[in-house]
Amino acid sequence: MDSLTRLKGRPLFMSLVIREDLPAIRDQARSLHDLTLSQPVHLLISHDYLLIHDTIQQGLVGSSLE
């Protein structure tokens, strides 16, 4: 989530090693960042387990798929 709030991606070396499409990643991050500033949305990042836990505790999502 920090990469969206701070608009800071992974280190350039790692991005080059895994051959990320840097312009596409930057555009996606910028779009999500701008969306969170313009509307009341909640982003749920699938690999951020603390965020998922907190979101479940707040009752914004359920704790299982139904």
Residue 63 within a domain:
no
What pLDDT shows up at residue 38?
Answer: 93
Phi, psi of 15 (to 5 degrees): -60, -40
Residue 64 within a domain:
no
Residue 62 within a domain:
no
The predicted model scores a pTM of 0.67
Residue 24 within a domain:
yes
Residue 8 within a domain:
yes
* Rounded Cα–Cα distance for residues 54 and 48 (Å): 10
Residue 65 within a domain:
no
What's the domain range around 50?
Answer: 2-57
In this prediction, residue 43 has a pLDDT band, given cuts at 50, 70 and 90, of confident
Provide the number of structural domains found in the chain: 1
Burial of 38 (0-12, 13-18, 19+ CB in 10 A): exposed
Task: Tell me which residue has tokens 């999502």.
Answer: 61
